[in-house]
Structure 1
């Protein structure tokens, strides 16, 4: 069946826009995100922050995002030289890269969920709830989330393959059943559920903040310098988290909704124009989670003085060590 000339021109126009966007926008976001998350990791391991469970969750999320973006850097660079795209040829690399991408993206979002729960618990008036917030518990939860995520996405070893025929993406799922399964798991486990949990605990945290302001605080003389510093760090981390969690919710949920739509209408026949539009929307919505992942460092840097001061101190330490070595 031939395609009308107007429809063909429209399809070529949309495809050209998609190619231009995919060639330049993701690579810029990836490079900026890699530098940002690497810097964030260096900041969150500093002594003033690493004793706080929320900082540990931030560190785990930044490290997951860093691995996620580094893994995607190769395929993005290969868009400019497809002859070097080994992921499209070597099946093992295809499976491994997709496994790392899906696991680390899931981990990054769920670590932020743990951080929002941590902020909610620290502002609770219940002593038992506050006692749940400690470093040992944080490491234990991080390990549990990592094991569950690996178990969920271990199917990539079977479902993904390289050098597939009949589709433009050579490293992709090898059956419709795998495609539907991956779409549902990605939309539910990696996007919708963590995003909604972030929003819920963000709202609960805001309620706790308002209630805590109405509580009569102890005398200033009874508060030690260490407690003041820890309390200040807690409030700063809470502000950082609230901003990031709201952005993650706004940027990730549209992609989940679109994935659900594509899954529901998967077996419905579509015209060439409808398929092109659906693919274009999918790629645009795919950039939104990248954006939320890549700008977190910029939010920390612009909004929080403590983050900037810690980063400056880190830079001075590095410069001093370089001078000593020379």
Structure 2
């Protein structure tokens, strides 16, 4: 029996979601964990506001991938709609998506802005580049997105599916909030606005860093700023390619009828969008010599400490067992 073209699109999108999604989840989880370890292991990174934002972004990326991407794989890959089975999960799922996704994107924008301030020659702008202010900004960011997610808890509910009266789905019950989610959250906050901020301040930071050699800046600070700016700029360029498809799909596909082809394109755009959360460690390890050196240093120390601990345990003096040998002459 032949398979119709529409169902074939669904099958392909499901398989891509399962295998590509699991791949993104695994590399993103371990990449984010390595990012956190490396950024927290070097004092110059711990005291730098840009590295602080990148560390916070790594935490948000790990949680987002663990909660949202895993849910995306289960719902769109295995067709197990968890949101339609639990009213609590229905209400909390998008709330968590908004919180950690928007926190991650905001941290990336702040890191780009921070590198512009760090490389700026104007003392007025340069003074805003400090770790103490970065901590307050991050706390304010998290509180703001927490408040932003409250309407999701209020307006999401389990209702009868408009297309199938025998099926229940988790949908928004307020039409105005539905319009905001489609255009405000999905199109602007998840794609267009972060891209504009990243490209704008990334370009300004690149312009500033080219003139660092002509300024009276300590060598260590100058090299650190160059390394961090390079890391941020390459990630901005990468983000253009993984976020832009989602912006286009959000603008076009969400206004078209829900058919298999459109649903498949929408799901694939979400899969590509998730590469944003999985990629930072691999970008930094490729473009930054300082980051690679710290990575090698950290894990050589871990290996050495484990090897030393193992040898100490193996070389401990064991109590001498009693002499149980039998003299053959006595026989």
TM-score calculated relative to the size of structure 2: 0.82
Partner of 1:184: 183
Counterpart contact for 1:123–1:208, Cα < 8 Å: yes
Counterpart contact for 1:202–1:242, Cα < 8 Å: yes
Partner of 1:93: 89
Looking at structure 2, the residues matched to 54 and 123 of structure 1 have their Cα atoms a distance apart, in angstroms, of: 12
Counterpart contact for 1:121–1:133, Cα < 8 Å: yes
From the CA coordinates, give the structure whose radius of gyration is larger. 2
- Mean alpha-carbon deviation: is it higher for 31-40 or for 241-250? 241-250
Note the aligned Cα RMSD (angstroms).
2.8
Partner of 2:252: 261
Q: Select 1:231's aligned residue among 191, 198, 222.
A: 222
> Unaligned stretches of 5+ in structure 1?
1-5
Q: Select 1:147's aligned residue among 143, 148, 154.
A: 143
Partner of 2:296: 312
Counterpart contact for 2:10–2:261, Cα < 8 Å: no
Shift of 1:200: 0.6
Looking at structure 1, the residues matched to 237 and 197 of structure 2 have their Cα atoms a distance apart, in angstroms, of: 11
Partner of 1:29: 24
Shift of 1:285: 1.4
- Answering whether residue 100 of structure 2 is matched by residue 109 of structure 1, we say no
Partner of 2:264: 280
Shift of 1:19: 1.5
Shift of 1:320: 4.2
Q: Deviations over 1:211-253 (max 9, x none)?
A: 445x3x45xxxx7xxx322322211111000011122133213
Shift of 1:70: 1.0
Q: Select 1:242's aligned residue among 224, 233, 237.
A: 233
Distance 1:212 1:302, change over 3 A: closer
- Mean alpha-carbon deviation: is it higher for 230-239 or for 51-60? 230-239
- Answering whether residue 121 of structure 2 is matched by residue 122 of structure 1, we say no
> Unaligned stretches of 5+ in structure 2?
314-331
Give the match's secondary structure for 1:161: strand
Shift of 1:48: 3.1
Distance 1:229 1:210, change over 3 A: closer
Distance 1:26 1:126, change over 3 A: same
Counterpart contact for 1:164–1:174, Cα < 8 Å: no
Looking at structure 1, the residues matched to 223 and 240 of structure 2 have their Cα atoms a distance apart, in angstroms, of: 26
Shift of 1:170: 4.1
Partner of 1:14: 9
Partner of 2:127: 131
Looking at structure 1, the residues matched to 305 and 90 of structure 2 have their Cα atoms a distance apart, in angstroms, of: 40
Q: Select 1:38's aligned residue among 33, 51, 55.
A: 33
Q: Deviations over 1:262-311 (max 9, x none)?
A: 45x36xxx4x7xx3222222112112221122122111122222112212
Distance 1:12 1:159, change over 3 A: same
Looking at structure 1, the residues matched to 191 and 147 of structure 2 have their Cα atoms a distance apart, in angstroms, of: 17
Distance 1:279 1:317, change over 3 A: same
Counterpart contact for 1:102–1:153, Cα < 8 Å: yes
Shift of 1:160: 2.6
Distance 1:254 1:86, change over 3 A: closer
Looking at structure 1, the residues matched to 248 and 181 of structure 2 have their Cα atoms a distance apart, in angstroms, of: 14
- Mean alpha-carbon deviation: is it higher for 294-303 or for 156-165? 156-165
- Answering whether residue 283 of structure 2 is matched by residue 299 of structure 1, we say yes
Distance 1:82 1:197, change over 3 A: closer
Looking at structure 2, the residues matched to 166 and 182 of structure 1 have their Cα atoms a distance apart, in angstroms, of: 19
Shift of 1:45: 1.1
Give the match's secondary structure for 1:124: coil
Counterpart contact for 1:11–1:276, Cα < 8 Å: yes
